[in-house]
């Protein structure tokens, strides 16, 4: 059974892919991408407030799991790409046309990193105990 959180992030990923291809329609592209970036930054806060990570990571000793660390590193990579993307947007606003190529390449990297992060999160979902 799929988690509600996983369905939500998969939906936002699909929306992000569509906004990537609608880059020329800035009225759609900019608000969608900015909103999803903000959601990605706030989502760990939601998870910490609703999940018992102490039990899972410490008591069940999953802190030593390769998959946990892979997911964590993908989150950090995604956040680093978001920072680079924001810096590139500042260049674009200042009129640097070369920044558009850089912006698109970073966008592709974000889509790849976010897709892998969602996939790794799906693999970490604990089955519901009955």
Domain regions of the chain by residue span? 37-124
- Burial of residue 26 (CB within 10 Å: 0-12, 13-18, 19+) is exposed
Record the pTM: 0.88
Task: Return d(Cα 28, Cα 30) in angstroms, integer.
Answer: 6
What are the tens digits of pLDDT across the range 54-102?
887 888 888 888 999 999 999 999 999 999 999 999 999 999 989 999 9
pLDDT at residue number 40: 95
Where do we find the tokens 């569509």? 18
What are the tens digits of pLDDT across the range 9-38?
999 999 999 999 999 999 999 999 999 999
- Residue 130: pLDDT above 50? no
**What are the angstrom distances between the C-alpha of 36 and each of 5, 8, 13, 64, 69?**
14, 11, 8, 30, 23
pLDDT at residue number 19: 96
């Amino acid at each position: 059974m799929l988690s509600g959180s996983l369905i939500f992030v998969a939906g936002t990923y699909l929306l992000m892919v569509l906004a990537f291809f609608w880059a020329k329609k800035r009225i759609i592209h900019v608000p969608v991408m900015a909103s999803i970036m903000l959601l990605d930054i706030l989502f760990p806060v939601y998870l910490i407030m609703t999940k018992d990570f102490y039990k899972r990571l410490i008591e069940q000793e999953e802190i030593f799991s390769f998959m946990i660390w892979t997911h964590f590193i993908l989150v950090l990579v995604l956040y680093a790409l978001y920072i680079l993307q924001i810096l590139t947007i500042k260049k674009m606003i200042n009129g640097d046309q070369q920044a558009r190529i850089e912006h698109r390449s970073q966008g592709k990297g974000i889509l790849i990193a976010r897709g892998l992060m969602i996939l790794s999160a799906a693999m970490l979902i604990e089955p519901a105990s009955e």
